[in-house]
């Protein structure tokens, strides 16, 4: 089962009036400079209490999915590859995907510390989510009262869950890194602004090893830091040198990984998986901007635009901060729409800048009891909690039952399960070996991938079927446009050689297992 096949999921957001474009450069630059914050970014004792609230809320929200091996789709592959790395397997060579090596390394770390189950990476994802909520609070604190800023952090936790970043997909891990970059570069007048900018660029380079589409945001933060250098009087030659240093730091993590693959003799595999295959994947027929994506986009952009309108009545230093957040949102939109096919969970990248832009809509008064930005996240989540908890419980139980039915027919050496369409987690849960280096069902069945793997899908499926896998898993309703040749081979084999073994519902899809007739 694959979320990537989950079907189809304005104007500049900060405009400077044209009359101000005639201002001298020095005066214009002041308009765009971030504020000289009166409040320090360091957490006070009172702020530590807020962090405790954020931690508890994060645990409650995300704990609903803890232990569910089918809580999300893509993470099941990342977990499988991360676990295989602990056994000496090499991503892109032994097991294939096009996500960066750093993402798999995170999952390997989670499993090394927390064991083979899904709770290991879900706990790590919760830590990252909490870090993002705290950094949202820190960024909001100079612009709002303490509990309003805390509400902004709480809102990022709830919205992340609602926008598909509820378990451990790549957005969960790179969004806090973008927030860290924002916190480091927003104030170019900081006495250690240059050092902070260098640290931010290294964080951005690390985020590239989580998902390459963060590039537009990393570029924006770098440009903002260079603009701050320009405001401080840096000459063009110095700016060029600083830009080159920023670029080197941003590329360093990826270059190191690439060099490691080249030294091991796998340079071609690294380049193809990380860069070339991205352009070989066919775009969705629905395009980047389609109905479901628009419906998900409207609430976020609507609140951001209302916040920008309200910011006009705020002091000048706050308006300058909102300029930064508005430009960040534009860069985050570029992150979302960079791939040729856009899925709903990509929009989670927009949540932090949209929440920060919405701050002027809320009062600065502090009692937390009646603070709307504190109450809204809690009410929103509590309204949805029962249905989410029920779905997670059903998913856990269904995965356990199907894995138990499959386990007697497979082993860890030669009798390998084939999940043609269904949960990738069934490989681990059933104790099965892997029938191919292309173990992600989407890579074998999705018609959009047929030219992007370096092999033909139907040839790989035919090779796997020739080994007569003891169990085949397939779904009644596909999530992606299917490759008819590959699907036809599987259906023909099932009709000829297999009998029903188990059937379960996974998130409203019926998934069936068929066992080889003896």
Q: Cα–Cα distance between 325 and 166 in angstroms, integer?
A: 24
Q: Cα–Cα distance between 311 and 337 in angstroms, integer?
A: 27
Evaluate whether 129 touches 58 at the Cβ level (below 8 Å): yes
Structure confidence at residue 35 as a pLDDT band (50, 70, 90): very low
For 38-52, 202-216, 411-425, which range has the lowest pLDDT when averaged over its residues? 38-52
Average pLDDT over residues 416-443: 98
Give exposure, 5-31, as e/b (b: 16+ Cβ within 10 Å).
bbebbeeebbeeeeeeeeeeeeeebee
| Among 128, 139, 118, 138, CA closest to 55 | 128
Give exposure, 84-107, as e/b (b: 16+ Cβ within 10 Å).
bbeeebbbbbbbbbbbbbbbbbbb
222 pLDDT higher than 90: yes
For 90-104, 135-149, 198-212, which range has the lowest pLDDT when averaged over its residues? 135-149
The predicted pLDDT at position 410 comes to 98
Is 0.85 topped by the overall pTM?
Answer: yes
Mean model confidence pLDDT for the chain: 89
The torsion angles phi and psi of 469, rounded to 5 degrees, stand at -60, 140
331 pLDDT higher than 90: yes
Cα-only R_g, the chain:
24
Number of H helices, E strands in the chain: 20, 4
The predicted pLDDT at position 43 comes to 66
The predicted pLDDT at position 368 comes to 54
The torsion angles phi and psi of 141, rounded to 5 degrees, stand at -55, -40
Q: Cα–Cα distance between 167 and 69 in angstroms, integer?
A: 10
Bigger pLDDT: 498 or 508? 498
The torsion angles phi and psi of 256, rounded to 5 degrees, stand at -65, -45
The predicted pLDDT at position 10 comes to 35
33 pLDDT higher than 60: no
Please name the residues in contact with 492: beta carbons below 8 A apart, sequence gap of 6 or more. none
Q: Cα–Cα distance between 253 and 435 in angstroms, integer?
A: 32
Average pLDDT over residues 335-348: 95
Average pLDDT over residues 498-514: 95
What are the boundaries of each domain within the chain? 55-387, 410-516
24 pLDDT higher than 80: no
Residue 67 region by backbone torsions, left for phi larger than 0, else alpha for psi between -120 and 50, else beta: left
Average pLDDT over residues 54-60: 95
Tokens representing 459 are 């040839």
Average pLDDT over residues 53-57: 95
The torsion angles phi and psi of 109, rounded to 5 degrees, stand at -60, -45
């Amino acid at each position: 089962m694959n979320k990537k096949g989950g079907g189809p999921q304005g104007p500049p957001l900060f405009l400077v009036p044209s009359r101000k474009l005639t201002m001298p450069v020095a005066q214009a630059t002041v308009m765009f400079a971030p504020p000289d914050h009166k409040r320090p970014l360091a957490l006070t004792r009172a702020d530590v209490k807020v962090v405790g609230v954020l931690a508890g809320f994060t645990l409650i929200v995300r704990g609903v999915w803890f232990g569910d091996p089918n809580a999300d789709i893509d993470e099941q592959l990342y977990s499988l590859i991360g676990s295989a790395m602990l056994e000496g397997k090499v991503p892109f060579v032994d097991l294939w995907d096009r996500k960066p090596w750093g993402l798999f390394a995170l999952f390997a770390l989670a499993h090394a510390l927390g064991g083979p189950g899904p709770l290991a990476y879900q706990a790590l994802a919760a830590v990252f989510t909490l870090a993002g909520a705290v950094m949202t609070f820190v960024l909001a604190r100079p612009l709002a009262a303490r509990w309003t800023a805390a509400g902004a952090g709480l809102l990022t936790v709830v919205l992340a869950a609602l926008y598909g970043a509820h378990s451990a997909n790549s957005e969960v891990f790179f969004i806090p890194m973008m927030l860290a970059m924002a916190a480091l570069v927003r104030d170019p007048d900081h006495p250690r602004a240059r050092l902070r900018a260098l640290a931010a660029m290294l964080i951005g380079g690390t985020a590239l090893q989580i998902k390459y589409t963060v590039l537009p945001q990393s570029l924006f933060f770098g440009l903002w830091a260079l603009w701050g250098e320009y405001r401080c009087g840096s000459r063009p030659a110095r700016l060029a040198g600083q830009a080159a240093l920023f670029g080197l730091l941003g590329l360093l993590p990826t270059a190191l990984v690439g060099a490691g693959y080249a030294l091991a003799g796998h340079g071609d595999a690294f380049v193809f998986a990380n860069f070339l295959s991205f352009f070989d994947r066919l775009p969705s027929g629905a395009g980047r901007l389609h109905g479901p994506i628009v419906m998900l986009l409207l609430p976020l952009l609507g609140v951001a635009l209302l916040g920008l309108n309200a910011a006009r009545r705020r002091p000048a230093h706050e308006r300058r901060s909102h300029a930064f957040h508005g430009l960040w949102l534009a860069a985050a939109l570029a992150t979302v729409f960079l791939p040729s096919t856009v899925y709903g969970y990509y929009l989670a990248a927009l949540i932090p800048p949209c929440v920060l832009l919405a701050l002027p809509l809320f009062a600065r008064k502090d009692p937390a009891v009646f603070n709307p930005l504190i109450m809204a996240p809690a009410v929103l989540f509590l309204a949805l909690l029962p249905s989410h908890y029920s779905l997670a419980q059903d998913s856990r139980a269904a995965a356990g039952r199907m894995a138990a039915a499959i386990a007697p027919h497979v082993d860890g050496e030669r009798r390998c399960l084939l999940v043609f369409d269904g949960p990738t987690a069934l490989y681990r849960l059933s104790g099965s070996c892997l029938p191919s280096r292309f173990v992600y069902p989407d890579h074998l069945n999705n018609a959009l991938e047929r030219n992007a793997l370096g092999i033909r899908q139907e040839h790989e499926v035919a090779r796997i079927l020739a080994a007569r896998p003891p169990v085949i898993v397939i779904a009644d309703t596909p999530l992606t446009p299917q490759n008819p040749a590959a699907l036809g081979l599987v259906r023909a084999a099932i009709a000829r050689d297999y009998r029903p073994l188990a059937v379960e519902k996974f998130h409203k899809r019926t998934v069936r297992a068929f066992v080889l007739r003896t």
